[in-house]
């Protein structure tokens, strides 16, 4: 009986540790990501360089000082500053992105599966919002001006639209070293056109129990 109880407790603890997995707190001051697997330790999805070999450039990125090229169909450009650009972010659980918008430019509906986002408007006027989960699917939106801040909860569909006649700039702070992004239109358009037509012809009801 004692052995069975101990086994149950261990399995329960393992289940809780998996269920609560996210960007964990770092176990050391920092863990600079490297691609070379020689003489490294595997931590949190990236290999870590010996801390004694860390340099200032491991914690530096100059890419956000330059405007993104908004000459595209959306009229917007996102410049990320995550662990791919700043190796020193590994295990630290944060990242940034600069978003540039041409007049009436759109950062289309998307989600970040691993992070909450806080958006700060640096220049311009943005109409922003997110949609709550089922069953309400409620749009929560607001017009933001220079200096305003808005939060997009983790995993919820959200967007930004420049409603001004001049360029706009915003900085997004994200609660993950690698927040990920899924653009809703890109995901949906992978479905066969006939399937989309069929889905659009249906009368939708909520088939979930809450």
Task: Please enumerate, by residue number, every residue annotated as part of a binding site for oxalate.
Answer: 107, 112, 117
Residues β-bridged to residue 107 = 160
Say how far apart CA 151 and CA 143 lie, in whole Å.
13
| Residue (of 91, 131, 93, 92) closest to 110 by Cα position | 131
Q: Binding-site residues for Mn(2+), please?
A: 110, 112, 117, 158
Q: Binding-site residues, please?
A: 107, 110, 112, 117, 158
- Sheet containing strand 33-34, strands side by side: 33-34, 46-48, 41-43
Say how far apart CA 130 and CA 150 lie, in whole Å.
10
Q: Distance from first CA to last CA of the chain, Å, rounded?
A: 38
Burial of 55-92, coded b for 16+ CB within 10 Å and e otherwise, reads: eeebeebeebeeebebeeeebbbebbbbbebbbbbbbb
């Amino acid at each position: 009986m004692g052995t069975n109880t101990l086994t149950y407790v261990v399995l329960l603890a393992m289940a809780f540790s998996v269920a609560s997995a996210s960007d964990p707190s770092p176990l050391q001051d920092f863990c600079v990501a490297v691609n070379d697997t020689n003489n490294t330790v595997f931590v949190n999805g990236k290999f870590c360089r010996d801390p004694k070999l860390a340099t200032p450039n491991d914690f530096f990125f100059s890419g956000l000082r330059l405007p993104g090229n908004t000459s595209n169909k959306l009229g917007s450009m996102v410049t990320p500053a995550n662990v791919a650009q700043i190796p020193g972010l590994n295990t630290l659980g944060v990242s940034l992105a600069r978003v540039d918008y041409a007049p009436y430019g759109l950062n289309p509906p998307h989600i970040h599966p691993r992070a909450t986002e806080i958006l700060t408007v640096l220049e311009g006027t943005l109409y922003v919002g997110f949609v709550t989960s089922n069953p309400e699917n409620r749009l929560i939106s607001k017009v933001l001006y220079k200096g305003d801040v808005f939060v997009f909860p983790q995993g919820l569909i959200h967007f930004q639209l420049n409603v001004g006649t001049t360029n706009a700039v915003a900085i997004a702070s994200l609660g993950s070293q690698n927040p990920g992004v899924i653009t809703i239109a890109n995901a949906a358009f992978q479905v066969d056109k006939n399937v989309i037509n069929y889905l659009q012809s249906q009368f939708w009801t909520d088939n979930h129990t809450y």
